Amino acid sequence: MFDQIHEECGVFGVYSPESTTSVVGDTYMALYALQHRGQQSCGIAVNDDGIIRSYRDLGLVPDTFNQRVLNDLGSGRMAVGHVLYGASNPERADAQPLVVRHIKGSMALAFNGALVNALELKEELELKGAIFHSNSDAEIISHVIINERLHTNSIEEAIEKAMDKLKGAYSMVVMSPQKLMAVRDPQGIRPLAMGKMGGEIVFASESCAFDSIGAKFVRDVRPGEIIVVDRSGVRSLESHCGQKSGLCVFEYVYTARPDSVIEGESVHMARKRAGAFLAQEHPVEADIVIGSPDSGLDAALGYAEESGIPYGIGFIKNRYIGRTFILPTQKERERAVHIKLNVLEAAVKGKRVVLVDDSIVRGTTSIQITKMLRDAGATEVHLRISSPPFINPCYFGTDIDSKDKLIACRMSMEEIRRTLDVDTLGYLSIEHCAQIARTTTGCEFCMGCFTGKYPIDVPEEKPCDKFSQKLCNK
């Protein structure tokens, strides 16, 4: 409902040498830590000697999993978990992990990303008799893997062959009766990390999930890599490694938690660096620098330190709004901004304010926030955005689906400034955006939503089959 980027998904997987109830508890706590990546549904699948039990539903992690549900999942040597942000009208069928049973066994899959050839694969599979119950790319991926599994000697070999057909972003954990696998697409568009806790091997979308359960970060899963964990140990398959990488730079700008480390770079430090670059590019005389909670706070701190303007708290966020909720009318949506955020009038009244935010998408929420500052007595509002203007859709899992909805495609910079009623407006340059994560080693970034240049070929427009038109046009 708000003028925001949505986070899409978070995945987690754990392998224990012995069957234990802790794999369920670890997964639950890890999903809690990954809740920022998706608030519409969640699920856990547990493997107990080849028998996979699962539970998934719409809702937040603590609302979906009570003690009875966790107890019913029992114990096991492996578990995978998932949190989802999906369509505006989520259905339980879209929740993950997806558990499927086939002639050679069973499989559970938790997936983050988006396929650019999803419709093509779906039509091909349907012509072979496949039936789909959801609108999730995870179901397409599961069909492709299972089709390959029928003609291969192992699940990891099936995944290798499936990767030849999958085009797009996919970081996923896959659980078979005997193995846990972590898989990342050849460009590494979405993050995926490996950790260790005693004898347990764990995988997660972000390292903050490891901190929540006491695990230690080991390394990032390499782009194109398949890591296989079973009773014989840990091994790596690298047949799809070595291609040009393209990690989504927006993981650093907005998606990831600031206490996570991705490709060797602290998200917090990357955001501070973005704020410092903003101060260099767009200096202004002001009395206070504030950030829009939460992802604008780190960049605001960087702007303040670089500029010498005092940093302050300008907004109080309502911590008890568990998820972004959908409201039917524009008036209700405008009022909802005030429920989520409230201006700290004592901090901004009579002052020249620099407001730092991570992005402007449609502009509707930005209008409300700047109006709140004006109403609270700010004499000037200078808006600084810690990313370049969005001018292209994202094909890899971030909820930017149409140029028509992007304010930077409809208006000039001056028109945006007047529409938002700010005294000055400044975006981070593309050149500096590419430099916010300095300590990454050999990692390039996807900035297609800013530049129109993507790490792989993408369709001219997002395709949509006739049965999903309403979803595509949401």
Q: Is residue 44 within 8 Å of residue 31, measured between CB atoms?
A: yes
Distance, in Å, from the CA atom of 329 to the CA atom of 336, rounded to the nearest integer, reads: 11
From the candidates 9, 42, 208, 433, which is the catalytic residue?
Answer: 9
Classify the C-alpha dihedral 20-106-194-41 as positive or negative: negative
Q: Is residue 216 within 8 Å of residue 197, measured between CB atoms?
A: yes
Distance, in Å, from the CA atom of 59 to the CA atom of 65, rounded to the nearest integer, reads: 9
Q: Helices H, strands E: what count in the chain? A: 18, 23
Q: Is residue 111 within 8 Å of residue 141, measured between CB atoms?
A: yes
Distance, in Å, from the CA atom of 175 to the CA atom of 389, rounded to the nearest integer, reads: 39
HEC letters along 347-377: HHCCCEEEEEECCCCCCHHHHHHHHHHHHCC
Q: Write out the H or E segment, with its range, that includes residue 408.
A: helix 407-410
Distance, in Å, from the CA atom of 250 to the CA atom of 167, rounded to the nearest integer, reads: 20
9: annotated active-site residue: yes
Q: Is residue 250 within 8 Å of residue 449, measured between CB atoms?
A: yes
The per-residue DSSP string of 68-122 comes to HHHHHH--EEEEEEEEE---SS--GGG-SSEEEEETTEEEEEEEEEEETTHHHHH
Distance, in Å, from the CA atom of 461 to the CA atom of 294, rounded to the nearest integer, reads: 32
Expressed in angstroms, the distance from the first to the final Cα of the chain is 11
Torsion-angle region of 50 (φ positive above 0: left; ψ -120 to 50: alpha; else: beta): left
Q: Which residue in 240, 243, 198 sits closest to 218, CA to CA?
A: 198
Distance, in Å, from the CA atom of 443 to the CA atom of 234, rounded to the nearest integer, reads: 24
Distance, in Å, from the CA atom of 140 to the CA atom of 161, rounded to the nearest integer, reads: 14
Catalytic residues: 9
